Chains A and B, each alone.
Chain A
Amino acid sequence: MEPQQNKELADLLGACARGDRVAFARLYEATSPKLFGVAVRMLRREDLAAEVLQECYVSIWKNAGSYSVGLSAPMTWMTSIVRNRCLDSLRRPRIEVPLARNDESGEDSLAAVPSEELGPLASLQRSNDAKALAACLAQLDGKMRQAIMLAFFEGLSHSELASHMQQPLGTVKTWIRRGLERLKSCLGED
């Protein structure tokens, strides 16, 4: 998200907080395809993703007043709402959609799963924030990067990562912890 888009989305959120339904419709129009993409990716089922998206926008409408300009960008705030809700949904036992493994056949789902190669990094070039993050991810060891991306994109827990990557739980936890530390220092913020 570039500054101009951020400003526009922040203005729309501000208008939503004042009960402006037209602004809310515009906000939905501008952001729902991206957030639906995030939910579909994490939940791997469009029907569940649609349910989550609906709940999230109702929540965004109700909580627009609590969005504070300056703390985080509008898209960051809304993405967090959607990812949190997806993680809640994944926590429920009824949802058991297998993640395609890299060593399985079935090319469609294969392509979507981050491997040790850069994969989705290539498309992670759309905003300045994303470029900086992609550069830092590229500096991580392959396994570390893969673990972090699987956790982010697919919503895998530590134990799911361990089983998917066929590594001991402790190893995967260490990769995640160190990987995150390195990302932070690479991004140069504190």
Chain B
Amino acid sequence: MSGPSPSMQALLTVAQAEGFALFACRDCGCSFYPPQSFCPACLSPHVDAQPDSGEATVLSTTRIHRSLDPALAPTMPLYVCSVKSAAGPSLFALADRPWPAATAVRLRVRDGLIHVDRPAP
């Protein structure tokens, strides 16, 4: 397996259409990330990608200078944020600047990747 898992593909599809999405459990309501085919809280298989506000708080930003993939060298340096979504899970997301910790942001999916889009209004 080298591309996104079926669960991640489902998340990206819904997020692309709705702005953002997270996997959540239809039985217990738990939101989680990375996506998987069952709920990590109650183990229910009734999980799917559900629209989400994308509201999140920045935990930290790193500026990556070296990638393991030589093809990515022209894109370096690259900002990646660690964020905690309002729904609970934490995620990694691309950013266009080094957002300070505690900044309120909104997550969006573009071209199959999660981006820190802009501060939430």
Do A and B truly interact?
no
